Amino acid sequence: MAYWLMKSEPEEMSIDDAMDESAVPWFGVRNYQARNFMRDQMRIGDGVLFYHSSCAEPGIAGIAEVASTAYPDHTQFDSKSHYFDPKSTPEIPRWMMVDVKALRKTTLLSLTEMRNSPELSTMLVLQKGSRLSITPVTPQEWHAVLALLDK
């Protein structure tokens, strides 16, 4: 099993929104490295730290799991979508997505709290200049986050 941190802007998809559905499509990823994580490495059942970004208080807001293998992101073909990619075709799609199933909402583990936790110092999301919307999480980081959430 692998572990991931996946960022979502709460206005687009919050942990509350995800909790209301059996699974949600993780659409709109437009970074090749993040796409490759979904396409090449994510497996059904992998653990996900559901992270709220670009909001008043960013941080981990819930625990989820990968619920599907990667498949073409439909928004790349919709000319009315903010995520439209005119160079992508259904025959050769550029962008992929996975479905994510929210397992539980947690108390918010804020970015500040994460930065103040020595056991999380290696997390990619905390590294200077890190802007990826999807990053791998080590088993040690995963367990450290769960321990912090259970305090």
pLDDT in tens, 116-140: 999 999 999 999 888 899 999 999 9
Across the chain, mean pLDDT equals 96
Number of domains in the chain: 1
Q: Which domain holds residue 132?
A: 3-149
CB burial string 42-57: b at 16+ within 10 A, e below: beeebbbbbbbbeeee
pLDDT higher than threshold 80 for residue 151? no
pLDDT at 150: 85
Express as a percent the part of the chain with pLDDT over 90.
95
State the Cα–Cα distance between residues 87 and 126, nearest whole angstrom.
33
Q: Please write the tens of the pLDDT for every residue from 46-84.
A: 999 999 999 999 999 999 999 999 999 999 999 999 999
* Inter-residue contact 38 to 68 (CB < 8 Å): no
Domain at 30, CATH number: 3.10.590.10
